[in-house]
Structure 1
Amino acid sequence: MDEAGWRRVYGADHEDPGPRPGREYRELVAGPLDGLLLDVTGWSEQRLGEGAALPTEIAAHGPGGRALYSPRPGDPRRWDWRGDTR
């Protein structure tokens, strides 16, 4: 959490980066998106269990790359980085 007490949300506008009330988030841990929150509002249980391949220009493969994150066993509100892919 930063000094202001809020966290940035992956994919959010830089002018309005904080989490919103009534939304559901997962914390991204390690890798290029470490510390960001991912908005998973409306995701099915199956989709939540699969994790996500998130587009990012700061992945190992540069522009067009994706950072792979999946739920942490025993703590599914935190998603651990599993590597990068194209």
Structure 2
Amino acid sequence: MNGDEQLLRGRVYGHDHDDPDPGPKPGRTYAELVGCPLDGLLLDIHDRRSGEVDDGVALATELCRWPGGRALYHPRPGELRKPGPGITCRLHHTGDTP
């Protein structure tokens, strides 16, 4: 599967599962979330500064250890970010917080 096919199959974090168009939008920049509980979702990072993404993100979810808590995702050291729109990096699950 090439990158474009993978991009089309992902669902963007924050979109409802019954949203008629839950996928990525052309020209936007995304991070792929890797590991439970949000594994496989895409996070729209288009309007975030690089430092915000490099420091990791805490994403609200009912699926983490604490319902209503946050799942923590961080880039792995040494994993490079590709420039441009589409999926440019991966963020890995590092834990949960209430």
Higher-helix-fraction structure? 2
Equivalent residue, structure 1, for 2:53: 48
Give the Cα separation in 1 of the matches to 2:51 and 2:90: 16
The structure showing larger relative contact order (alpha-carbon pairs under 8 Å, at least 6 residues apart) is 2
Deviations 1:32-60 (A, max 9, x none): 00010000011112112111000000111
Give the Cα separation in 2 of the matches to 1:18 and 1:41: 14
Higher-strand-fraction structure? 1
Contact conserved, 1:61 with 1:84, CA < 8 A, in 2? yes
Gaps of 5+ in 2: 82-88
Gaps of 5+ in 1: none
Query: TM-score of the superposition, structure 1-length normalised?
Result: 0.87
Percent identical among aligned pairs is 53
Query: TM-score of the superposition, structure 2-length normalised?
Result: 0.77
Q: How many residues align?
A: 83
User: What is the root-mean-square deviation in Å for CA atoms of aligned residues?
Assistant: 1.8
